[in-house]
Amino acid sequence: MPESETRDETAETAFAGLAVPLVQEALKQAEGIVNEPSAEGLHQLRVALRRMRSLWWAYRPLLDRGENTRQRALFKFLADAAGKTRDYDILIELLATRSKADVPADFAKARQRALEVSRETLSNADMKTLLHNVLAETSRALKATERRRPLHAFSDGRVAVSEKDLTRRIRRAAKARRSDYTAIHDVRKAGKRVRYLLELFGPVLSGQHQKTLKRLKRIQTLLGELNDVVASEALLRENVDLLNAVGDPEQTLAWFRKERKRRMRAAATLLRNG
């Protein structure tokens, strides 16, 4: 939406314009996964659903909290349905980088099984009906509210709350033990929310946020690389047959532990130094 239009809007009337493109993108990617799946499609579906979760979080003060929580849980469930296949893609990439050789065929087979589950779940979930219903319910609830809030003031306020939460989590992670991955992962999730809200509300926000976005992208890149190693190590430990198929399971796990520690140190240093 053009800036001249959005600054005159209310948060309630602007919701559909913000939400509809996200719903359409999620449905487009989900249809692609069911009909002709790709690693990029899986990733883009998760991104679209995460952006939706962030937008619905932003509107939480204007909505019934219980219903809003259930709706955001639905977005997470659908994102997780695509997530396992993506986890295998990352694991295979890391193993290929480590060994500089072909990854055993067992991994491709496991990835295919995960993809079949993803496709079945997304197909059976009837995403089109689910997401359109959530969109309609939220839009009706916002239209029914008597009070109208200027979009720019509402956006500034919700972004400020998300930034405050991110700052708190960064401070907590910077003081945590080096092995405390949960604290760092919390920063990653909070950072994504801030970034998505800055992108969604960008045209109507007060001040300049390019510097914040640039910093967030740097943080997200480093924390994302750490998460790749942590999730891949966990996936290997959950699948003993795959671990044994590598040929040197102990050395493989030792490599993942070393990588995890190295990336944890880099992440901790970045969070401490900003």
Q: Is the pLDDT of residue 134 over 50?
A: yes
Residue 101 is given by DSSP the state: S
Q: Specify the DSSP class assigned to residue 205.
A: -
The token pair at 228 is: 């790749």
Q: Which has more confidence, 209 or 136?
A: 136
pLDDT value at 4 more than 50: no
Q: Of 19-33, 47-61, 163-177, which range is least confident?
A: 163-177
161/139 Cα distance (integer angstroms): 23
**132 pLDDT tier (thresholds 50, 70, 90):** very high
Average pLDDT across the chain, whole number: 90
- Please list, in sequence order, all residues whose beta carbon lies within 8 angstroms of the beta carbon of residue 249, skipping any fewer than 6 positions away: 243
Query: For 59-76, what is each residue's pLDDT tens digit?
Result: 999 999 999 999 999 999
The mean per-residue pLDDT over the stretch 105-111 comes to 93
Kindly give, in sequence order, each residue whose CB lies less than 8 Å from that of residue 139, ignoring residues fewer than 6 positions away.
Answer: 15, 16, 19
Q: Residue 40's domain spans which residues?
A: 3-273
Between 163 and 36, where is the model more confident? 163
3-state helix, strand, coil in the chain (%, to 5): 85, 0, 15
Structural domain count, the chain: 1
CATH number (domain holding residue 223): 1.40.20.10
Q: Which residues contact 195 (CB under 8 A, 6 or more apart)?
A: 213, 216, 217, 220
Instruction: Show Cβ contacts of residue 267 under 8 Å, excluding neighbours closer than 6 positions.
Output: 184, 222, 223, 226
* pLDDT tens digits along 41-65: 888 999 999 999 999 999 999 999 9
pLDDT of residue 17: 95
DSSP for residue 36 = S
- Indicate whether 1 pLDDT > 50: no
> How confident is the model over 110-126, as pLDDT tens digits?
999 998 888 888 887 78
In the chain the first and final C-alpha atoms are separated, in Å, by: 33
Q: What pTM was estimated for this model as a whole?
A: 0.89
